[in-house]
């Protein structure tokens, strides 16, 4: 038989480009469920990733999103030292109008059929209540409410990881990791941001906060003794650390030119508008960037703890390990003169390759 020729847009071609193992398309006419589960790599353990519900304009857009996000989860689990693989799922639809209990339970049955190869959690467009519905059909779900044995709000764990990442960067630049007297601008003081401000102020850092929600801004600033600043001026501040905890892509060609900070370390996902271009720009400008997917891994750690049955104390210890992991990334970036994102990716890839070899030798 002649070799199969693949079009550029073919699913197999896209899977090959990213190195995916498995994709499951879930279709249920009765509930209107249209979902794609992508399992990227299970070398280190079962693929864990959130389920996103979004109004994708096309199936191609949904597929690209799930492929990109699931691959990211493999790297996140690997660099954090967790025994987890990478996966993600997307449900096509409007979470406000299309989502029903029946749909989520039907989706739970699809996850059940994967026999533990994929474990899910909440993401954009899904909630703890949805995880509860999935839990009615399968055990392979995390982020269920605490009353059902879940691990609860991940934000304090995420904030702890970000805080440890900041300390690792401070140690690199200033020789010790004390934050006393260091100035930090926290952009976005929602669930993670507020917990981070708390930790920073406990160590006597000088903290500036910004948020588009004026009321929240003033309340949080007053509560922790931080200085409220307009969200328009955050990049003009002459601070040691900029901690993005709101949106992605805030580190771009325009903002990098404005920045006076020495370190960028925060919770937001996809902080660099373009990982390669802006990673290099930061390296050239001498701004130390703590890779977001590493230092915001507390949410994943929280999910992992839920399936491993860990205590809150052990969960926090795992988040503290982000300090050492960040130190290793900074070291590699320095010795190999590569961006910190590239260094993090290389460390994650090496761990997966090493474990693959061990597995193959048994």
Least distance in Å: CB of 316 to ligand NAD? 14
Least distance in Å: CB of 158 to ligand NAD? 3
Q: Which of 127, 62, 129, 138 is nearest to 93 (CA)?
A: 62
| C-beta of 210 vs 345, nearer to ligand NAD | 210
Phi-psi region of 143 (alpha: psi -120 to 50; beta: other; left: phi over 0): left
The dihedrals phi and psi of 208, each to the nearest 5 degrees, come to -105, 135
| C-beta of 146 vs 336, nearer to ligand NAD | 146
The dihedrals phi and psi of 17, each to the nearest 5 degrees, come to -60, -45
* DSSP 8-state code for residue 309: T
Least distance in Å: CB of 111 to ligand NAD? 21
**Of 34, 76, 88, 182, which is the active-site residue?**
88
| C-beta of 35 vs 267, nearer to ligand NAD | 267
Least distance in Å: CB of 262 to ligand NAD? 21
| C-beta of 28 vs 153, nearer to ligand NAD | 153
Least distance in Å: CB of 225 to ligand NAD? 19
Using DSSP bridges, classify how beta strands 206-210 and 227-228 pair: parallel, antiparallel or unpaired: parallel
| C-beta of 114 vs 154, nearer to ligand NAD | 154
184-194: buried (b, 16+ CB within 10 Å) or exposed (e) per residue?
A: bbbbbbebbbb
Q: Which of 29, 32, 110, 36 is nearest to 70 (CA)?
A: 36
| C-beta of 141 vs 268, nearer to ligand NAD | 268
Least distance in Å: CB of 213 to ligand NAD? 4
Known catalytic residue: 88?
yes
212-246: buried (b, 16+ CB within 10 Å) or exposed (e) per residue?
A: eeeebbeebbeebebebbebeebbebebbbbbbbb
Q: In angstroms, how far is the first alpha carbon of the chain from the final one?
A: 34
| C-beta of 114 vs 226, nearer to ligand NAD | 226
DSSP letters of 99-160? --HHHHHHHHHHHHHTTTSEEEEE-TT--HHHHHHHHTT-S-B----GGGT-----HHHHHH
DSSP letters of 202-241? HTT-EEEEE-S-HHHHHHHHHHHTPEE--TTSGGG---SE
Residues in contact with ligand NAD by the rule CB under 6 A:
154-155, 158, 187-193, 210-213, 216, 231, 245-247, 267-269, 296, 298-299
What residue number has its CB nearest to ligand NAD?
Answer: 190
Query: 157 near 121, Cβ under 8 Å?
Result: no
Least distance in Å: CB of 2 to ligand NAD? 46
Residues catalogued as catalytic: 88
């Amino acid at each position: 038989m002649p070799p199969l020729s693949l079009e550029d847009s073919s699913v197999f071609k896209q899977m090959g480009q990213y190195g995916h193992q498995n994709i499951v398309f879930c279709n249920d006419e009765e509930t209107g469920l249209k979902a794609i589960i992508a399992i990227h790599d299970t070398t280190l353990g079962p693929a864990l990733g959130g389920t996103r519900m979004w109004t994708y304009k096309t199936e191609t857009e949904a597929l690209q999103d799930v492929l990109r996000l699931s691959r990211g989860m493999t790297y996140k689990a690997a660099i954090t030292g967790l025994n987890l693989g990478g996966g993600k799922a997307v449900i096509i639809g409007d979470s406000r109008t299309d989502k029903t209990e029946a749909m989520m339970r039907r989706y739970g049955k699809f996850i059940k059929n994967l026999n533990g190869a994929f474990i899910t959690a909440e993401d954009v467009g899904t909630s703890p209540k949805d995880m509860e519905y999935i839990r009615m059909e399968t055990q392979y779900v995390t982020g269920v409410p605490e009353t059902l044995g879940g691990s609860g709000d991940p934000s304090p764990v995420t904030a702890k990881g970000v805080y440890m990442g900041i300390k690792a960067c401070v140690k690199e630049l200033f020789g010790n990791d004390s934050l006393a007297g260091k100035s930090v601008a926290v952009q976005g003081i929602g669930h993670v941001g507020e917990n981070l401000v708390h930790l920073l102020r406990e160590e006597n850092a000088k903290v500036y906060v910004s948020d588009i929600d004026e009321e929240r801004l003033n309340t949080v600033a007053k509560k922790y003794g931080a200085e409220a600043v307009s969200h328009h001026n955050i990049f003009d501040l002459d601070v040691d650390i900029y901690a993005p905890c709101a949106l992605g892509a805030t580190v771009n060609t325009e903002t990098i030119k404005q920045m006076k900070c020495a370190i960028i370390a925060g919770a937001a996902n996809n902080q660099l508008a373009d990982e390669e271009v802006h990673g290099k720009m930061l390296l050239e400008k001498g701004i130390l960037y703590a890779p977001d997917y590493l230092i915001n891994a507390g949410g994943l750690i929280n999910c992992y703890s839920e399936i491993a049955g860990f205590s809150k104390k052990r969960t926090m210890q795992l988040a503290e390990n982000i300090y050492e992991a960040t130190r290793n990334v900074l070291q590699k970036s320095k010795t190999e003169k590569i961006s910190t994102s590239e260094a993090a990716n290389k460390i994650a890839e090496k761990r997966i390759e090493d474990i693959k070899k061990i597995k193959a030798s048994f």
